[in-house]
Homo-oligomer: A and B are copies of this chain.
Amino acid sequence: MSDSNLIDGRAIAAEVHESTGARVAALRERGVVPGLVFIRVGEDPASQVYVGMKERMSAKLGIQSTTHVLAGDAPEAELLALIEKLNADAAVHGILVQAPLPRHIDGARVYSAVAPGKDVDGFHPVNMGKLVLGDPSGFVPCTPAGVHELLVRSGVPVAGAEVVVLGRGNIVGKPLAALLMQKAPHADATVTVCHSRSRDIAAHCRRADILVAAMGVAEFVKADMVKKGAVVIDVGVNRVDDPAAPKGYRLVGDIDFAAIRPVAGRITPNPGGVGPMTIAMLLQNTVRSAEAATAARA
């Protein structure tokens, strides 16, 4: 098997970053510095890593980022007050509250508190609603947007395709289904959403032209569940105990990559597939927000 069936998320993300960087430069020429604020609550190690990656890529593209770290036991009101202040700050174009939040904080309330026009994560109900309604003025959540961009830039035909999405989470499964079923260019797919209560998921998988695994179950999708030539996108990031690994665990996706790769027409590696695209779409959303704010002011 040659490398040719790999969908290289890093290379495609780099293309998106290049275009985003150019847009940042154009804004800076007009005296506008796109501003992105990260909020972390507590010391979740994965969150630290994710925010660190986003900070570094922001800096590389000329987006000014600021990170607020709240104590793990900070009251919800403190977080909401911070968001309120950032909503009112004209230098802030994007606000990202890094998941997961501690249990004493109501995530739905927090994500709804971010001004929809600064909700570059696309988690606010109004942005989710616009996505479903086909209103392009909202922000599309970054991971579904990244999966879509991967497909489009890889030349995978989406219109009319049979798409099966495994997982119905608010961050990936449901918004991705909404995105791909729209009456729109590079959409128009026939979408089925499967989940933990679905019967005979394997049969659904086997009829998919495009199979997106976002269940959060390590190596759930096996080779015999994939139609020959199908495009397989792996969104999963699962921690699996591995005493031989330096950290005592390793990260695996939702698909049995090695076995599926010879069957699939195209396939994402993991890491190096969807992950880089999520950051790329976040920064693209941020620049779009800054452009919109600048246009409104002009």
Residues of chain A at the chain B interface (Cβ within 8 Å) = 108, 124-130, 132-135, 138, 159-160, 162, 168, 170, 174-175, 177-178, 181-183, 188, 190-199, 204
Contact = CB atoms under 8 A, between A and B. Distances in A.
B134 A130 contact: no
A144 to B, nearest CB: 12
Contact of A160 (B125, B182, B199, B204): B199
16 contacts: A124-B129, A125-B126, A125-B128, A125-B130, A125-B135, A125-B138, A128-B132, A159-B197, A168-B182, A177-B177, A178-B178, A181-B193, A183-B196, A190-B193, A190-B197, A190-B198
Given A126-B126, A132-B175, A160-B198, 11 more contacts: A125-B133, A128-B128, A128-B129, A129-B130, A129-B132, A134-B170, A160-B199, A190-B193, A190-B195, A190-B197, A192-B192
Contacts of A177: 177, 193
Given A133-B108, A195-B181, A190 B174 contact: no
A181 B174 contact: yes
Given A129-B126, A160-B199, A174 B178 contact: yes
Nearest to A199: B160
A184 B64 CA distance: 41
Contacts of A160: 197-199
A125 to B, nearest CB: 3
Nearest to A182: B168
